[in-house]
Structure 1
Amino acid sequence: MLPLHPTRTHSASPDAAPEPTPRGPVLHDRVSQAIAANPHLEGRRLRFETSNGRVVLQGVVRTYFQKQMAQEALRGLEGVAEIENRLEVTW
């Protein structure tokens, strides 16, 4: 499990409330798009769950590189605070 630092937003006024981070369907869609856009994961049928900024990756990949690339595709994605990489590598 790799904890990530949440993204902080800075507003013009120090009294202004911070902008909400994407959750629910918005976060799910962003994660799905990030995985689909990664050329190293083409053809992989990865599953994932999102809840309160936490993403759990599941499925099978062929290399440790692909496992890492799946995680890297989500690092820094707005709304992702934590990634648990449960992908299995099969040769």
Structure 2
Amino acid sequence: MTSQNEICLARVRRKLPTRLSAPLAKTCRKEDPRMISSNVKNVRSRIRTALGASPLFPLRQLQVEYFDDRIVLAGRVDNFYQKQMAQEVARSVSPEIELINSVEVGLS
């Protein structure tokens, strides 16, 4: 069975150039909650709340994580419109934080 870290690593590798993919093993490990600043916890929580309030049901199911000073959106939606909407919702909450949209489109 594939671990959550391996899944994250595979998703992020597809989105980054090869020269940037080497240090991703540590990037995809979940950060120790005690080490994450309260500001980032607050942003992550606000993004989760905003996605949870969306009228688009697939957006409510997305995962929002914090890795290496970035917010990562992960999960699966039905179409590219929903993927873009998830990204725009997250950006509207906190435009200053770097966002990686690893949301996959289509049926599993």
Structure 2 length as normaliser, TM-score?
0.54
Match of 2:49, SS?
A: helix
Aligned to 1:63: 79
CA distance in 2, matches of 1:84, 1:39: 22
**Relative to 1, partners in 2 of residues 1:78 and 1:57: Cα closer, same or farther, differing over 3 Å?**
closer
1:50 Cα deviation (Å)?
A: 2.1
2:76 corresponds to 1:75: no
Instruction: Give the helix-richer structure, 1 or 2.
Output: 2
Work out whether residues 27 and 50 of structure 1, in 8 Å CA contact, stay in contact via their aligned partners in 2: no
Aligned to 1:17: none
Work out whether residues 71 and 100 of structure 2, in 8 Å CA contact, stay in contact via their aligned partners in 1: yes
Query: Unaligned stretches of 5+ in structure 2?
Result: 1-14, 16-37
Look at both structures and tell me which one has the larger radius of gyration over its CA atoms.
1
| Matched letter for residue 88 of structure 2 | E
CA distance in 2, matches of 1:80, 1:52: 15
Q: Number of aligned pairs?
A: 71
CA distance in 1, matches of 2:68, 2:45: 14
Work out whether residues 43 and 93 of structure 2, in 8 Å CA contact, stay in contact via their aligned partners in 1: no
CA distance in 2, matches of 1:53, 1:34: 20
1:79 Cα deviation (Å)?
A: 6.9
Work out whether residues 23 and 79 of structure 1, in 8 Å CA contact, stay in contact via their aligned partners in 2: no
Structure 1 length as normaliser, TM-score?
0.62
